[in-house]
Amino acid sequence: MMKYYIQIFGCQMNYSDAERFAAKLEELGYKKAADDKEADLIVLITCSVRKSAEDRVYGAINNYHKKKLYPNLKTIILSGCMALRPEVLKKENKADIFMDIKNLNSLLKILKQKNKPAKFGDYFSVKPRYESKFTAYVPIMTGCNNFCSYCIVPFVRGREESRPVEDIISEVKGLIRNGYKEIILLGQNVNSYSPKLGARSSKQKITDFPDLLEYISKLPGNFWLRFITSHPKDLSDKLIRVMAKNKSARGGSAFGGKICEQINLPAQSGDDQILRKMNRHYTVAHYKNLVKKLRKNIPGIAISTDVIVGFPTETKKQFENTIKLFKEIKFDMAYINKYSSREGTAAARLVDNISKAEKVKRAAALNEILKIGALESNRKFIGQTLEVLVEKRNRKGDWAGKARTYKVVKFKSSKNLVGKFVRVKITKAENFGLVGELTK
Ligand code: SF4
């Protein structure tokens, strides 16, 4: 029997794509390989967002060409963002098939024809082979219309396409039936979900993302609901209302409704001029106002962000504004990225004038402020009992899971509690996590 192995680079969207890829390969008779060494077919689900991510893909492909290490390997499929970039296609001798994930339904044909693009198929209709037994990523849309000046996503993923409401709900209901505890709705910008665009009309009268979120949060079952990610220009008061209302909604646990008190809201910069150059369409004041509204209406909400340091022309003073934003907001978590130019984007036409050393320095400075703010926020949980979804056992033998706020919680237990909701009394706060004791 032919065996496959999937290597994932980049974002959660790619994890979701990989689950669909795995399901399709198994439908075609492939079996999951224990590791890449025994695979006949390797799929790389790639990411182009940062140059470092692309470099890792090149490294992996070069490695797979070492015959002695990979004696069974016959086919390498390159999918995800990089498969659609012309400069990658030029190196096509490195992979056997360059495949747009949207063609997944035609995989058999593509495998037979090796790289002849088949008819467009709706890849959302491929039922994924979920990697986890308790957490599932459910894509609600693909593509992006925003064209942030540094981002390659709209060029490689294409324009926004919303998934039909009925499909999403049917996938979510199936997950609930199968006992899934955490459902994460995925989209490059969930706030612009619009089932009228590229989707069948909905009987549920769901016209936007808050409607969809509310509908799912009212489905019976014992599960948490999260979503990523939200563009600050599109986050509506309606969404905040739905999240706030859910806290006291029926059907949640003693700890709150099904929608978790957590949001990722990428700020990208704390300086208005840089935000303009990034084509983000909001100001720092708008961003701060959103945070204020979120915190006022959803007490205890954890806010994480994404930020880019060293964007072309970013002066020290402009960077100081980002420092100021971090000090003021006190994020619970931040994904701090050093700017790297992506060919084909608008920002690539600007001179990447901030040195690597300066970018490293700026990222480290932000990280220090983040640590202080996150620790302060974590200390508030000491003495509280939190609901935790157990994920795994770490190297030290402690169990680790996530709280509703997406904070990592560690505790000791003699039992394997993976995939279960437990209650943990917090005894210690760390910079990016909590430690506690299991309670009854
Ligand atoms: S919103 Fe901006 S950063 Fe996010 S995927 Fe779209 S273009 Fe890229």
Is 120's C-beta closer than 6 angstroms to any atom of ligand 1?
no
Q: Which atom of ligand 1 sits closest to the CA of residue 152? A: 8
> pLDDT tens for residues 315-368?
999 999 999 999 999 999 999 999 998 888 899 999 999 999 999 999 999 999
Ligand 1 proximity of 231 Cβ (cutoff 6 Å): yes
Give tens-digit pLDDT for 116-128: 443 334 667 777 8
* Closest C-alpha to ligand 1, atom 2: 148
Q: Where are the domains of the chain?
A: 3-123, 132-260, 290-379, 385-439
Could you count the other beta carbons within 10 Å of the beta carbon of residue 345?
Answer: 20
- What is the pLDDT averaged over residues 212-231? 94
- Residue 242 pLDDT level (bands cut at 50, 70, 90): very high
Q: Which ligand 1 atom is the nearest neighbour of the CA of 188?
A: 5
12 has a pLDDT exceeding 80: no
Residue 11's pLDDT is 74
Q: Is the CB of 148 within 6 Å of ligand 1?
A: yes
**Substitution candidate for ligand 1 out of 142, 145, 153 with most atoms within 8 A of CB:** 153
Please, which pLDDT band fits residue 107 given cuts at 50, 70 and 90?
A: confident
More confident residue, 10 or 180: 180
Residue of the nearest CA to atom 8 in ligand 1? 151
In 3D space, the residue among 130, 125, 121, 7 whose CA is nearest the CA of residue 59 turns out to be 7
CA pair distance 149, 74, nearest whole angstrom: 39
**Please, which residues have CB within 8 angstroms of residue 174's CB and are 6 or more apart in sequence?**
none
- Which pair of tokens denotes residue 386? 């939190």
pLDDT at 239: 96
Distance CA 138, CA 156 (A): 20
13 lines ligand 1 (CB under 6 A): no
Give residue 1's pLDDT.
Answer: 78
Cα(152) to centroid of ligand 1, in Å?
A: 8
CA distance between the termini of the chain: 47
CA of 46 to the centre of ligand 1 (A): 17
Gap from CA of 330 to ligand 1 centroid (Å): 24
Question: Could you tell me if the CB of 146 is within 6 A of ligand 1?
Answer: yes
Q: What token pair was written down for 139?
A: 């894509």
Full-prediction pTM beyond 0.85? no
Q: Is the CB of 335 under 6 A from ligand 1?
A: no
Ligand 1 center from residue 15 Cα (angstroms): 18
* Same fold for the pair 3-123 and 385-439: no
Task: Supply the CATH classification number for the domain 290-379.
Answer: 3.30.750.200
Q: 149 CA distance to ligand 1 centroid (A)?
A: 9
> Check: CATH 3.30.750.210 for 132-260?
yes
Mutate to test the pocket of ligand 1, among 50, 188, 193, 275 (most ligand atoms within 8 A of CB): 188
For the Cβ of 157 lying below 6 angstroms from any atom of ligand 1, the answer is: no
Is residue 9 within 8 Å of 45, Cβ to Cβ?
Answer: yes
**Arithmetic mean of pLDDT over the chain:** 88
Q: What is the CATH number of domain 3-123?
A: 3.40.50.12160
* 186 touches ligand 1 (CB under 6 Å): no
Determine the distance separating the centroid of ligand 1 and the alpha carbon of 38, expressed in angstroms.
37
pLDDT tens track for 400-436? 999 999 999 999 998 899 999 999 999 999 999 999 9
37 Cα–ligand 1 center, Å: 35
Domain 385-439 superfamily per CATH: Nucleic acid-binding proteins (2.40.50.140)
Question: 398-406: which pairs have CB atoms within 8 A and are 24 or more residues apart?
Answer: 402/182, 403/434, 404/224, 404/255, 404/256, 404/260, 404/261, 404/262, 405/260, 405/261, 405/262, 405/300, 405/301, 405/302, 405/332, 406/226, 406/260, 406/262, 406/302, 406/304, 406/332, 406/333
